Structure 1
């Protein structure tokens, strides 16, 4: 059976996952890229190095965000949301954003854009050690679909 997710189910999907995809568009080019994220009920928080997605979102902050939870080809949930990118620039904003992100993804951290294993034991040091771009996307519209067999 195919169907639409209700608001509660959409929120559940967004809270339960840590990898999604950002779709951005600038200079007549569309770019879709996977990202690690944390959701707080209003914003998607992320961290990355400088690069194409940040350049494009700075030019055009209106983005699309997608997540999917795939059990198999007949059992899945997908959420698509639209919102506005905002770079967190002040030390206080960056720290708040990184705390939200770290609280959610700390158990899964392994990548270069997150943190080295040696800093796992010190959350305070972890947040202060982060370099790169900290951002959030305010989600303004959400829709979801599912298939269940």
Structure 2
């Protein structure tokens, strides 16, 4: 088996061609990692969530990273870490274009909303949905690949 570094272009291609990653964030020295569905475009990872722990963590400390990894043939694999900054896209004036962009990119897949909208215990249904669109402004990517 041999391992090599992926180029920036290879990292970007892997991020663009996949939808599930592991978001790592921290608050007051406590790390937290959770899977997310995302869409990647122009150095941004777009995602959706209901209020909860990951949103609280990212609001407190916007520096985050996302790991995307893929099993290859045999013992092979590829992984990319995208480091960046959390940017909430609130439902108010000044963010409409970015929210629409997030919606458009995520909605290309029929099940895009499920991981972010489903919680173990659902709150009562109201006329207002507290869903949160956000993006990660990617500042750096790095990746590796292992092949037999």
Is TM more than 0.5 here? yes
> Size of the alignment, in residue pairs?
134
**Offset of residue 96 of structure 1:** 2.2
Please give the root-mean-square deviation of Cα atoms over the aligned residues, in Å.
Answer: 2.2
Distance 2:79 2:5 in 1: 9
Structure 2 portions without partners, runs of 5+: 119-127
Counterpart in 2 of 1:33? 34
Counterpart in 1 of 2:100? 95
Greater helix fraction, Structure 1 or Structure 2:
1
Distance 2:46 2:39 in 1: 5
Structure 1 portions without partners, runs of 5+: 116-128
Q: Secondary structure at the match of 1:74?
A: coil
**Offset of residue 113 of structure 1:** 3.3
Counterpart in 2 of 1:71? 72
Contact 1:5 1:145 in 2 (8 A): yes
The 5 A counterparts of 1:7-18 are 7-18=8-19
Counterpart in 1 of 2:136? 137
Q: Secondary structure at the match of 1:146?
A: strand
Distance 1:19 1:110 in 2: 12
Distance 1:133 1:111 in 2: 13
* TM, length-normalised to structure 1: 0.81
Distance 1:138 1:110 in 2: 21
* TM, length-normalised to structure 2: 0.82
Q: Secondary structure at the match of 2:114?
A: coil
